[in-house]
Amino acid sequence: MKIAIVIEGSTKNRSIDVENAVRGLGAHVVYNLGMKNVDGEPELTYMETGFISALLLNLGAVDFVIGGCGTGQGYMNMVLQFPGTSCGLLLDPVDAFLFSQVNAGNCISLALNKGYGNLAGDLNIAYLVRQLFSNDFGQGYPEARREIQINARKKLAKISLNNHKSMPEIIESMDSGVIENALSFPGVMDFIVEHAQEENPLKSLVIGRS
């Protein structure tokens, strides 16, 4: 699985914890495309990281995105403004297991300040990520409700597509400042050029905005 990590400014010091947790699994290709708490990097808010996340998913550049903010609420709400995204707010390993088995989405939001604490916050993230990716997504829980959950996910995906503008329409009409800040962040455009699906018409539109 190709996994992107996209962390915003107020939680950039947690970026290394998230990256270490995912890389520690050893079974996925990991790209850190958000803030990394290094000197001189531009500032991203959850507005930009949410847009970057949705863009990567809609371009087919990654399979899954891990993001978040102080409480996880802002990032989750931003990501869900776009089609093709299914994001859950995960606070602990049980949330991670249930999200992977019942909701089987393509994006998670982490609370990286609220409740993080000075002790074992990094361990909670590590256990959460391990539980999230420990089983194939969408197996159902409990087993007796598997078919119901699969059908519900399919219906939700259709509702999302029907109720949103397309990504090209959104990009043409949304706040240009958010787009420019997101696409100019170091590494983002280079990643899109290299990893977005060639046949995806969104790719040429995005590259044209750079």
Domain that holds residue 15: 2-208
Q: List strand residue ranges (DSSP E) for 12-164, in order.
A: 29-32, 64-69, 87-90, 107-111
What angle do the packed helices 176-183 and 188-195 form, to 10 degrees? 80
Per-residue pLDDT tens over the stretch 115-138? 887 788 999 999 999 999 999 999
142 prior amide bond cis, ω within 30 = yes
Binned at pLDDT 50, 70 and 90, residue 10 comes out as very high
The mean pLDDT value of the chain amounts to 96
Token pair 């930009």 is found at 48
**Each residue of 149-189: pLDDT tens digit?**
999 999 999 999 999 999 999 999 999 999 999 999 999 99
Structural contact between residues 112 and 69, judged by C-beta atoms closer than 8 angstroms? yes
Q: What is the dihedral of CA 158, 196, 1, 111, to 10 degrees?
A: -70
At 209 the pLDDT is 80
Total number of residues shown for the chain: 210
Distance of CA 201 to the CA centre of its chain: 21
If one counts the domains in the chain, the total is 1
Neighbour count for residue 5 (Cβ, 10 Å): 27
Report d(CA 10, CA 62) in Å as an integer.
24
Distance CA 86, CA 88 (A): 7
Measured between alpha carbons, how far is 199 from 48 in angstroms, rounded to an integer? 25
Distances (CA, A) of 133 to 46, 126, 191, 194: 24, 11, 24, 25
Residue 107: which CATH number? 3.40.1400.10
85: tokens are 């995204």
Q: Which residues are registered as beta bridge partners of 111?
A: 69
Q: Are 58 and 169 in contact (CB under 8 A)?
A: no
Which tokens go with 201?
A: 């018409």
Percentage of the residues of the chain whose pLDDT score is greater than 70: 100
Tokens of 122: 């990094």
